[in-house]
Structure 1
Amino acid sequence: MPVNKTDSLEQLRNRLLSIIHDRHYIETEVLHDFSKMKIKVDVVPNARCGNWYAKNTQDIESYFKSTDGHKDHWGFNYRRLNLHIFERLLKYYSHDQILMIVDSSKYRQVPDSLSKTVPIWCCILSLFVNSDYFTEEGEINEEKFNKLADYLLTLPLQLENVYQEQAQIREKIIDFYKKTNKYLPNFSQKLRSLMSTQSDLNLSHEYIRIYPHWIYPGLAANKNEFIQEDAFDGKKFSVLNLVLCSTSSYSHISRHHGNIKFQNKKVHDKFTYEFDYYQGAGDDHEMWGMNLIDPSTFNGNIEKFECFFKNKTHDNTELLCLMEDIHNGNYLQSKNCSNTYLIDSFNKVYLANNANIDDNLALQFDISIILGDSDIKVNDKTHVFEDMSDDKKGIRNFFKNINIIERIMAIKNPEESILFSSEKFDLNIACLLIYFIKYSNNPNFTQTKWDKVNIRQLHLKILEGITIETKTSRLVLNSVNSYIISNNSS
């Protein structure tokens, strides 16, 4: 069937209607079912796509990538540990409250983020918490490990693609565990430390199981599945229940480029008129949002959009006017926002993105190093390098002229503050790594000899101080490795 040649505004209109349709499912079915069970729900959107369908009351989101669950690319991601989710699961244990992560998919009933990435995360964290069960004198008893992994790994086997992959995923669990232990050698202690900080935590048993449950249109929650304790191999386990909600009203959509990507003439559950329904409509909004809308803007103006769409006679020109008005108001507001992240209080080291800082903010630091495109002016305290942008050319230029940056780092006194800012989370991360390795006097960052493993460990430690999802390019990390290791050997 040929592609329907709707214009970009018509597609945008139908995508927003699709998102409201799926939000209606959560509001009227999912939350209503939990209310009847007398269970409070903490709704947490999964980063990017999930943010279109729900907003957490405390602006919490999870960071589970579908790519970590794709066939033959399964993995446990050390850069997206989601420990804030683990903390909330501990908090809600035995409190008649449950955490629910929301996401959606263009092509599947349940996105790979929820069907595979999260179950792998649940299993790996549970293994680390329960490592005493299979560890003898610091060594893994693989027979015991495999028994426990079989018990802890829970997958939605009712989904055909997951059923076909379950054996391969299970086989890789021990590799995920060993690699995580290599790069995060104190991970078990960190998890147990988080457990100990929950002062009101009253776990029934020493062992813990993080137990995922799935709901989606056509599969409702079952209260009987939300158990609080379980038994395995003579051990009692406290069960932390985690609900994974996919919003997609699923119908098989072909990935083939020549086929339509929506369900034609679906009746809207909220507005009762027909529209073209896009599964996972919020995904890749940069491609269809016309630079006018993102999840934050949509959530902040949901009543305006719902009021607009109630009247079917409103045309696309009126929709465009509404979005431009909202966008212009949000843009003026966002220009006043500033976000910096304190990475090391000992050395007063801060991190930022160029879009979120201005001259006044930069001047609050004793030294500011600004890399890439920026309107910030150069002065005695602020050093701007516009040719060191977060693209391949800029990254190469940064490492070619790293001695200039290092001379600035070297003049910092211990009592002074320093800010590293770049366009994304690339060259500012490179600056942090080089600064901590070569110039910091913080005992937490001292190392007699640096190699790829402890550079990776330092990188992961830095990411703990950043409260939003970050992704540092492989080019930057490999370049830092080469630069530091070559300096070690020279």
Structure 2
Amino acid sequence: MPPPATASDLIFSEQANHNFSKTLGDIKRHTLSIHNRLQSILVDAAFVQSVSGAYCRPLVANERCGSWYINPEAKSGSAYFKSTDGHTGVWKFSTRRLNTHLLELIGKGDGCIIVDSTRRGKRMPDALSKTIPIWCSVINRSLFPDKPEYHNLYTPPQAVSTSENAQIAARLDDFTESFASLGINMKPLREHISKPIRPLWVTPESALPVEEQVFSDYHPVICCTASRRVAGGEVSEGGYIQGSGDDTENWAHGLTPTVFWPNSELLLSTSESELPSLITELVSSSSNTSTGKPSPTLLPPTSSLYVTSSTSLAAQSASSSDIIITVSSEITAPASWQKDKHRLEIGIGSGKIGSRNLRSALPHMIDFVKRSLSTASAETKSPRIVVACPDGKDLSIGVALAILCILYDENGDLFELGQEGSGIDKAFIRRRLGWIMTAIPDSNPSRSTLQSVNSYLMIRPS
């Protein structure tokens, strides 16, 4: 008969521990496969569709994550609420992400459903539990200042404590003042909605109504968390991954929702080993066949300043009187920038490098626009000024902001030749940025880009 086991018999050797860790890592990588992520997205999307059917309101994706869970054919719009604006202790109403474009959709649809998700462990993202509630309260206070009964802050009790709700509520007056300081005309915004907006929350654990809901006292902003909460590891969930659409830069190989949805059956029927190459092929094919390039976007209240992407600019026919500035992602010598008397192509790089180089390039751009305006023909007293960059959302926004601050007055009219904007401070710059964010809600100027613009504008001689 063998001797009884001792404690030393139960201790794994160093090699055994190494193999055990490797095995766990292999299991986790297998569980977090591309196939499981895409399948999880479809499971969550089915829940989102059931919410849409229950509440009969337009679906809005909170970008970037939310678009994964909505079939593009059912998507009515996009929102830009960041979870970081709702993090505990640093709550914020963003003057860069105003989302006022949603008010028209909310008014027409008597509310909307904003879709987002969060990764493992959380019940709902802070964007839905706090950022959107802050936005709703600030919008109500701004559009209905004489109705204090509309000004309350509503947060989900299962995610936000009474204490935290009170701390956020204490800051709402300041948030409302910061919104008012942008000088945005509230009248057209007020015309979109007939009653206040109020957030509601839906998760996969919620019981959905079986009859159409009528909300007589407010427009509901239904905050829909697409993913089911996973308390433990994904290994125990049979391949389901909470919040798959939340970290696509780590696994998607360039796949986007617009490419995924029409090809979902093909992708899910392809073996895991072949998925990366198939995704690369689909993304490339989509890029080559994309159509419907949008026209340059006008920045009201001006009637002459436009922003667009480089590809859209190339697809449009320009007038001979247009003043065009293109910001290129390649770095080129300043001597090569001006192409003709009305066209400038600035090569300053991309990313943070491009944003940093923008500061030294802005004087060239402003001088170019002023020279072009001074030589404009009598018949074209206010030619179009078009600013483009690769995505039309970052560097071109910075250039347009500088032009707005220096060459346009408060009414959106160009100054007379020889005149420029004065008294430019941070509040002034924020107001002009508000014009842009209202006109192009999906623009996304980086912090580095805005810092370069601020630095240039603040040190200019008045």
Same fold (TM over 0.5): yes
Give how far 1:115 is off: 1.0
Q: How does 1:16-415 map to 2 (within 5 A)?
A: 16-27=38-49, 29-31=50-52, 34=54, 40-55=56-71, 57=74, 59-93=76-110, 98-107=111-120, 108-133=122-147, 149=151, 152-159=152-159, 161-163=160-162, 165-184=164-183, 186-187=185-186, 189-195=187-193, 203=194, 208-222=195-209, 226=213, 228-229=215-216, 238-252=217-231, 262-266=233-237, 274=238, 276-291=239-254, 293-305=255-267, 308=269, 314-334=270-290, 337=293, 340-343=296-299, 347-354=303-310, 356-358=312-314, 366-373=322-329, 379-380=339-340, 381-386=342-347, 388-410=348-370, 411-412=372-373, 413=376, 414-415=381-382
Partners of 1:375 and 1:352 lie apart in 2 by 20
Tell me the equivalent position of 1:461.
Answer: 435
Relative distance call for 1:406 and 1:444 in structure 2 (3 A) is: closer
Partners of 2:141 and 2:213 lie apart in 1 by 20
Asked which structure has the greater CA Rg, the reply is: 2
Tell me the equivalent position of 1:198.
Answer: none
| 1:443-467 per-position Cα deviation (integer Å, ceiling 9, x unaligned) | 435655322212210111022222x
Tell me the equivalent position of 2:9.
Answer: none
| 1:221-272 per-position Cα deviation (integer Å, ceiling 9, x unaligned) | 347995534xxxxxxxx3112211112211225xxxxxxxx52253xxxxxx
**Amino acid paired to 2:229:** Y
Alignment partner of 2:85: what SS?
helix
Normalising to structure 2: TM-score of the pair?
0.79
Tell me the equivalent position of 1:420.
Answer: 387
Give how far 1:17 is off: 1.4
Aligned to 1:478, which of 451, 457, 461?
A: 451
**Amino acid paired to 2:222:** V
Question: Do 2:299 and 2:435's aligned partners in 1 also have CA atoms closer than 8 Å?
Answer: no
Alignment partner of 1:219: what SS?
coil
Relative distance call for 1:251 and 1:9 in structure 2 (3 A) is: closer
Relative distance call for 1:223 and 1:240 in structure 2 (3 A) is: farther
Structure 1 stretch displaced more, 389-398 or 58-67: 389-398
Partners of 1:78 and 1:209 lie apart in 2 by 20
Question: Do 2:32 and 2:241's aligned partners in 1 also have CA atoms closer than 8 Å?
Answer: no
**Amino acid paired to 2:153:** L
Partners of 1:478 and 1:456 lie apart in 2 by 12
Partners of 2:311 and 2:451 lie apart in 1 by 26
Give how far 1:116 is off: 0.9
Relative distance call for 1:365 and 1:165 in structure 2 (3 A) is: farther
Relative distance call for 1:442 and 1:300 in structure 2 (3 A) is: farther
Alignment partner of 2:428: what SS?
helix
Give how far 1:429 is off: 2.2
Question: Do 2:56 and 2:212's aligned partners in 1 also have CA atoms closer than 8 Å?
Answer: no
**Amino acid paired to 1:103:** D
Relative distance call for 1:455 and 1:304 in structure 2 (3 A) is: same
Partners of 2:102 and 2:406 lie apart in 1 by 34
Tell me the equivalent position of 1:437.
Answer: 405
RMSD over equivalenced CA pairs, Å:
3.3
Question: Do 2:310 and 2:390's aligned partners in 1 also have CA atoms closer than 8 Å?
Answer: yes
Partners of 1:244 and 1:441 lie apart in 2 by 39
Give how far 1:383 is off: 2.1
| 1:329-374 per-position Cα deviation (integer Å, ceiling 9, x unaligned) | 2021138845532225855322123354438657877332122326
| 1:166-213 per-position Cα deviation (integer Å, ceiling 9, x unaligned) | 2221222222122222234644x3432434xxxxxxx5xxxx332222
Alignment partner of 1:456: what SS?
helix
Give how far 1:279 is off: 0.8
Relative distance call for 1:470 and 1:360 in structure 2 (3 A) is: closer
Relative distance call for 1:318 and 1:448 in structure 2 (3 A) is: closer
Partners of 1:223 and 1:84 lie apart in 2 by 30
Relative distance call for 1:331 and 1:396 in structure 2 (3 A) is: closer
Between the two proteins, what is the percent identity of the paired residues? 27
Alignment partner of 2:96: what SS?
coil
Question: Do 1:210 and 1:239's aligned partners in 2 also have CA atoms closer than 8 Å?
Answer: yes
Relative distance call for 1:68 and 1:239 in structure 2 (3 A) is: same
**Amino acid paired to 1:77:** S
Partners of 1:321 and 1:427 lie apart in 2 by 32
Relative distance call for 1:472 and 1:210 in structure 2 (3 A) is: same
Relative distance call for 1:385 and 1:264 in structure 2 (3 A) is: same
Tell me the equivalent position of 2:7.
Answer: none
Question: Do 1:45 and 1:55's aligned partners in 2 also have CA atoms closer than 8 Å?
Answer: no
